Amino acid sequence: MSALTARRRGEDRTRDVAQAALAAFRNRGYRLTQVADVSERLGVAVGTIYRTVESKEALFHLAVLEAAGRWPERLDLPLKVSGLSETVGVLRRVGEPQSLWPTLRAAAARAARGDARAEAPAIAGELYDTMARLAPLILLLDRCAHEVPELAAIFDEEVRRALTDDLTAWVRRRGLIAASDRATTEAVSRGALEAIAWLAKNRPDDPTAASIDDAHARAAAVRIFSNAFG
């Protein structure tokens, strides 16, 4: 066996562990998931997993890299991390608002140009594309973030709250909702976001939505979002 073939097989095994870890953490959450859950999914001994990761924290880090599509060119095994600090760093880089919803952020910061509602389709389409691309990571954090304060701070405050604030700022600045109170504006904004989120990240796993393909889901997300402020 050549060195290249051996390395590729090693990379494949590491990805297998990462994918099994992602499934395990999504299923059981952070606190309940153990290394043994991953070994059971792969049908290997627990010791085999410890050749890939040194700890449960490293296993979660591997799952986050897989979910975020941030697989490094080189990964020294067994993977070692210092608690969750490295994972938090990855999540902060992935969750930078300017890279996730630049169209909305720019629109919220500037004065209206012509028909404000004409901005909605581009904003909705970008949000759908971002949520669809990061669906594995969002679903992982949906399940695990509130069990770990460091993860909740990023997911709830630095991403979800920031997104809601940017959308609310855009809606209020454009005067898209007649009611002037923040609660009404935020409720409508959050409802429009949740519609996009379900179509982008939850629909693919919902057996009752099997007939809805990506193109129709994206079109529906744009339509629902735009109509919410029509």
DSSP state, residue 52: T
What pLDDT sits at residue 182? 82
Same-domain pairing of 190 and 113: yes
Q: Are residues 171 and 127 in the same domain?
A: yes
Same domain flag for 123 and 26: no
Domain count of the fold of the chain: 2
**Residue numbers in the chain where pLDDT is lower than 70:** 1-11, 179-180
Q: How many other CB atoms sit within 10 Å of the CB of residue 61?
A: 25
Within this chain, do residues 43 and 10 fall inside the same structural domain, yes or no?
A: yes
What is the pLDDT, as a whole number, of residue 12? Answer: 77
Whether residue 26 is found in the same domain as residue 131:
no
Q: Tens digits of per-residue pLDDT, 143-186?
A: 999 999 999 999 999 999 999 999 999 998 898 887 667 888 88
Q: Locate all alpha helices (DSSP H) within 175-228, ordered by sequence.
A: 182-197, 214-228
Residue with tokens 């097989």: 9
Residues 66 and 124 both lie in one domain? no
Name the residue range of residue 115's domain: 95-228
